[in-house]
């Protein structure tokens, strides 16, 4: 018994030491991740004039909401920038989820000629860097379709994402075929199977796709900057650059705008948090 106690005691000590080290590392990573958000939020309470003088600090000398007022009063298009981002990111998210689930259903459950070749081509397309596609895409939107500076130019390039198709296909492959065969026996067609069986069973992966797509579209700067040439069509990410000048930057109002622009993402994430965490757990269990 003495030997067992000694052995168990050492194991308990080692286990506590290991857990303590892991917790310390996780705490450091968490602080490193949250610090930019803290700095962004705390910077909004500073004096806009003080921030304009590039006086950065981790704690403002006084708390004021003047930077938020400055942000909305600075330009008549401040609200329009947020509205444009909501339209673009919301449209891209909805259509992306719909198209990705339809394509994922076709690739995972339907048998048609050339399916493997087509899916391989999509995977190869996913390997092409984002920057490589921007020039031909710009020529297509501006010179051929002539729809620059419109919502169509902002939304159309993001309607379909190969990564989401891949994600949907992998998830739907795990749905038992027996369920679909039973539905066919009951007389359901392919669309009814997709709408009444596949969609309800795919809520978790759809939530993951919705969050990731909305965040990616909302945070995109380069493409909206490329295809818009008037302030009324800019998104919030592009609009924030108007607070920067050659000799100074309205840092605190710009951070106020960034904080306001981050709110929709937080709301969407916490609204779909339950399904998002379920999706992560399912993926971890299935390996």
- Residue 160 in tokens: 């379909």
CA-wise closest residue to 160 among 135, 128, 126: 126
> Considering the domain 65-283 in this protein, what is its CATH number?
1.10.3720.10
254-272 pLDDT, tens per residue? 888 888 888 888 888 888 7
The predicted pLDDT at position 279 comes to: 60
Q: Looking at mean pLDDT, say which of 50-64, 84-98, 131-145 comes out highest.
A: 84-98
Tens of pLDDT, residue by residue over 67-113, are: 888 888 888 888 899 999 999 999 999 999 999 999 999 999 888 88
Beta bridge partners of 249: 244
State the pTM of this model.
0.79
67, 69, 74, 78: CA torsion to nearest 10: 110
Distances (CA, A) of 76 to 65, 67, 83, 205, 264: 19, 16, 13, 39, 21
* Domain residue extents for the chain: 65-283
**pLDDT reported for residue 285:** 47
Q: What is the pLDDT of residue 287?
A: 42
Instruction: Count CB neighbours of 98 within 10 A.
Output: 14
181-230 confidence digits (pLDDT tens): 888 888 888 889 989 888 888 888 898 899 889 989 998 888 999 899 88
């Amino acid at each position: 018994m003495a030997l067992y106690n000694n052995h168990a005691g050492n194991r308990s000590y080692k286990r506590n030491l290991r857990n303590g080290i892991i917790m310390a590392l996780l705490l450091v990573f968490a602080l490193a991740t949250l610090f930019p958000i803290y700095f962004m939020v705390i910077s909004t309470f500073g004096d806009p004039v003080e921030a304009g003088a590039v006086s950065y600090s981790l704690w403002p000398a006084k708390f004021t909401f003047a930077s938020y007022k400055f942000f909305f009063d600075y330009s008549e298009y401040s609200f329009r920038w947020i509205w444009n981002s909501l339209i673009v990111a919301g449209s891209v998210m909805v259509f992306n989820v719909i198209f990705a689930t339809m394509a994922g259903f076709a690739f995972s459950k339907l048998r048609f000629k050339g399916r493997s070749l087509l899916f391989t081509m999509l995977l190869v397309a996913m390997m092409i860097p984002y920057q490589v596609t921007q020039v031909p895409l710009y020529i297509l939107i501006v010179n051929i379709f002539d729809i620059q500076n419109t919502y169509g130019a902002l939304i159309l390039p993001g309607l379909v994402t190969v990564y989401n198709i891949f994600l949907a296909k992998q998830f739907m492959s795990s749905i038992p075929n027996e369920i679909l065969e039973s539905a066919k026996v009951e007389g359901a067609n392919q669309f009814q199977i997709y709408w009444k069986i596949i969609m309800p069973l795919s809520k978790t992966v759809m939530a993951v796709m919705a969050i990731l797509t909305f965040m990616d579209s909302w945070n995109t700067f380069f493409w909206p900057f490329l295809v818009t040439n008037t302030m009324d069509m800019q998104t919030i990410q592009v609009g924030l650059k108007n607070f920067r000048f050659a000799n100074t930057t309205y840092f605190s109002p710009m951070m106020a705008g960034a904080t306001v622009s981050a709110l929709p993402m937080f709301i969407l994430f916490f609204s779909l948090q339950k399904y998002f965490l379920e999706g992560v757990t399912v993926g971890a269990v299935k390996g």
